[in-house]
Amino acid sequence: MKYDPYCAVEIEFSDMQGLHDVINHCDESKKTLVMCDKFTTDLWGITDEIQSGVDAGYLAWVSKCPGNPNQQDIIDALEIVGDLNPSQILAIGGGSTIDLAKAISAFYYLFKEKGIKPDLDNVTDGLKNKTYTQPHQFIDIIALPSAAGTGSEVTRFATIWDVNKVSKFSIDCQENYAKKAIVIPDLTLTLPPRLTLSTGLDALSHAMESFWAKPTTYVVKDIALRAIDLIMTYLPQVLKDPKNLELRTGMSRGALLAGMAFAKTRTTACHSISYPITMQYGVEHGLACALSLDAVSKINREKTVLADDLFAVLEKHGGLKDWMDKTSEGIVDIRLSALGVPKEGIDKIVEGTFTKGRMDNNPVDISPEQVKEILLSVY
């Protein structure tokens, strides 16, 4: 019988010394791709250590890791890696950085072994047709999340956005679990309020959607409930006291558990509704997910096992909508109109809402008319 551990990723909580250690343990015998924005490497005091490894020839460094990475970002990163033949990737950053690292892990040796040129056509084909599922070498990923949100450090998924803003791609394969996740809450201390809020709401969406997703289990629900309680407890406090490491650690714990929960279930209607909002109007992913979270939770209630347990946690914190309004007050108004989405754009959003594997993962079938009603209710 095959043993399937609940979480496929080794998890370690560490501190800033742990960040220095993981970089300094790289050498000629362990060639490494570092993916981390230079702005943050300067902030964390690791720029010289990375540059020393680059100069010595055993590190390559992708120093620009944009949010919502697309095909061109994959191409640019593959060019930087060149002929290094890395055995591991250190992905230090938010979910977008870790997702981009997963894309490099999936395509670097595949393209190299098959002599495929990393251009727009070939990368797009690989994403659409999932050519990365062919047997080939992947690169081990050590994920060090700098935000308490996406959970990408403990999932097998990566989101890549279409450079033409037509669709999004999901990289999904067992080999793309990180080998290890090193959670260093100190890295989140410098996150600005809006990013702290957005990533925290993304984590909350992961936890709630995993609770009602079709493949959910009692174990997932128990983990999700703990994640929801942690996030709803700590996110408002973190936004009031952003330099408090204890509070940031609480958020990191909640986001990690939320990632572990939805790693087993994938997401549902809220994420599906969010994708065209982000793609068409650039709304931050977590805010886009949060827009429909309250409405979808109520739609799903009758078809959700242990729904009363979920709503008991929400009510403990004053109810989801009131909690969200109070938590986001003074930072951003979580309404479509305030986020730059015109009312006449809603119909097009509805058209792009029904992502396979997300909307059909919801326990209740939601119609286009209902999606429009939800969007109008948060306008």
pLDDT for the residue 168: 86
| Within a domain: 5 | no
Whether 343 and 200 share a structural domain = yes
Whether 16 and 118 share a structural domain = yes
Strand partners, 160: 169
Helix, strand, coil shares of the chain, percent, nearest 5, are 55, 10, 35
How many Å apart are CA 214 and CA 103, to the nearest integer?
27
Whether 46 and 174 share a structural domain = yes
Whether 174 and 268 share a structural domain = no
Closest CA to 284 of 183, 172, 192, 181: 192
pLDDT tens by residue, the chain, 379 residues: 344 567 889 999 999 999 999 999 999 999 999 999 999 999 999 999 999 999 999 999 999 999 999 999 999 999 999 999 999 999 999 999 999 999 999 999 999 999 999 999 999 999 999 999 999 999 999 999 999 999 999 999 999 999 987 778 999 999 999 999 999 999 999 999 999 999 999 999 999 999 999 999 999 999 999 999 999 999 999 999 999 999 999 999 999 999 999 999 999 999 999 999 999 999 999 999 999 999 999 999 999 999 999 999 999 999 999 999 999 999 999 999 999 999 999 999 999 999 999 999 999 999 999 999 999 999 9
pLDDT for the residue 13: 97
Whether 348 and 226 share a structural domain = yes
Q: Of 156, 171, 186, which marks where a domain is finished?
A: 186
**Pairing label, strands 168-172, 157-161:** antiparallel
Q: Is 109 exposed, middle or buried (0-12, 13-18, 19+ CB in 10 A)?
A: middle
Residue 307, helix vs strand vs coil:
helix
Residue 90, helix vs strand vs coil:
strand
| Within a domain: 172 | yes
Q: Of 159, 186, 213, which marks where a domain is finished?
A: 186
Which CATH number is 105's domain given?
3.40.50.1970
How many C-beta neighbours within 10 Å does residue 150 have?
A: 26
Number of domains in the chain: 2
Domain that holds residue 67: 10-186
How many Å apart are CA 220 and CA 265, to the nearest integer?
8
Closest CA to 149 of 243, 250, 256, 224: 256
Closest CA to 260 of 214, 230, 221: 221
